[in-house]
């Protein structure tokens, strides 16, 4: 071995290594630049992330975004059909009829059998005695119009016009009226009658010696003949009412059916 001959080689190798490391250090900025380009590439990839956001937005529109629309509004209904939560409007429409006065209906009871007045004579029948306020219901049908016929209420059995307290009349002049003290009176304009069935309602106050008379026919609304009418002045002392009667001139007749009193 020759130590003196190998020494220059070792020095040369060491110098080469030193120069190589220095050269590598001088190239470091270039390597950093390359790293910056990769980072730029990563940053450039951000639009890809932006693309993901658009995709997410699309997903929201199709899925979650669609759900609130269904919750916010019901499904469309056919033309003319109300929505489910507005079905109650049908009651409003009924509300208008619900707001009108109720019809005054006759009680569901048969009342007395029919009787007929004719030949200038009264046909009379009793009913439960009334000495307070009560309502009398009955139907009356004149055989022809005009005629001259009356239906009245009395205290006890009576057979003359003068003795009946409350009286309805189919007058000879064709008017339908009622007795009021010393004379007959009716609505204005006069109520003309026909040969048909009329349904009467009399509200009678025996202590006050007054009554109100109402009539309806052919499904028409009730008409008031008179209110606060006085008992006939010639009827005498009236403490109760317990008979009704009907009379007609000849050759005509008047039929009264279903007479009923309700206290």
Please report the pLDDT score of residue 57 as a whole number: 38
Within a domain: 28: no
CATH number of the domain at 209, please.
2.60.120.200
Please report the pLDDT score of residue 104 as a whole number: 66
- Among 38, 55, 37, residue whose Cα is nearest residue 47: 55
Averaged over successive runs of 10 residues, the pLDDT of the chain (263 residues) comes to 46 41 41 38 39 39 39 38 38 32 70 97 98 98 98 98 98 98 97 98 98 96 97 97 98 98 97
Residue 126: domain span: 115-262
Alpha helices of the chain — where are they, by DSSP H?
3-26, 28-44, 46-62, 66-72, 89-98
Within a domain: 192: yes
Within a domain: 34: no
CA–CA separation, 175 vs 150, rounded Å? 12
Backbone angles phi, psi at 8, to 5 degrees: -60, -35
Residues 6+ apart with CB under 8 A from 137: 106, 107, 111, 199, 200, 201, 202, 258, 259, 260, 261, 262
Please give the DSSP secondary-structure letter assigned to residue 92: H
Within a domain: 212: yes
Within a domain: 2: no
Q: CA triplet 207, 210, 211: central angle to 5 degrees?
A: 120
Backbone angles phi, psi at 120, to 5 degrees: 65, 15
Contact between 74 and 86 under an 8 Å Cβ cutoff? The reply is no
Q: 124 - beta bridge partners?
A: 245
Within a domain: 72: no
CA–CA separation, 90 vs 92, rounded Å? 5
* CA separation, residue 195 to residues 93, 112, 145, 167, 200 (Å): 39, 22, 5, 19, 15
Please report the pLDDT score of residue 22 as a whole number: 43
Within a domain: 42: no
Within a domain: 52: no
| Token pair 């309806």 in the structure block, residue | 216
What's the number of domains the chain is made of? 1
Please report the pLDDT score of residue 109 as a whole number: 86
**Where does residue 203 rank: exposed (0-12), middle (13-18), buried (19+ CB within 10 A)?**
middle
Residues in the chain: 263
Which run of H or E residues covers position 176?
strand 176-180
Give the β-pairing of 166-170 and 176-180.
antiparallel
pTM of the shown model: 0.62
Q: SS3 breakdown of the chain: % helix, strand, coil, rounded to 5?
A: 30, 30, 35
């Amino acid at each position: 071995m020759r130590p003196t001959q190998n020494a220059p080689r070792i020095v040369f190798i060491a110098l080469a290594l030193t120069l190589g490391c220095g050269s590598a250090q001088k190239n470091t900025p270039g390597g950093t630049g390359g790293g910056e380009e990769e980072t730029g590439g990563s940053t450039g990839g951000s639009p890809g992330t932006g693309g993901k956001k658009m995709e997410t937005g699309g997903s929201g529109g199709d899925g979650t975004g669609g759900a609130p629309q269904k919750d916010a509004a019901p499904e469309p209904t056919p033309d003319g059909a109300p929505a489910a939560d507005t079905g109650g409007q049908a009651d409003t429409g009924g509300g208008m009829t619900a707001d009108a006065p109720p019809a005054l209906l006759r009680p569901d009871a048969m009342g007395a059998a029919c009787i007929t007045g004719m030949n200038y004579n009264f046909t009379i029948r009793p009913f439960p005695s009334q000495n307070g306020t009560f309502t009398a219901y009955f139907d009356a049908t004149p055989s022809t119009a005009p005629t001259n016929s009356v239906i009245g209420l009395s205290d006890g059995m009576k057979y003359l016009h003068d003795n009946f307290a409350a009286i309805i009349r189919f007058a000879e002049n064709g008017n339908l009226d009622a007795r009021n003290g010393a004379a007959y009176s009716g609505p204005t304009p006069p109520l003309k009658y026909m040969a048909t069935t009329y349904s009467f309602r009399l509200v009678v106050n025996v202590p006050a010696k007054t009554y109100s008379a109402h009539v309806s026919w052919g499904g028409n609304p009730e008409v008031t003949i008179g209110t606060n009418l006085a008992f006939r002045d010639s009827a005498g002392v009236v403490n109760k009412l317990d008979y009704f009667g009907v009379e007609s001139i000849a050759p005509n007749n008047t039929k009264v059916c279903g007479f009923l009193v309700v206290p």
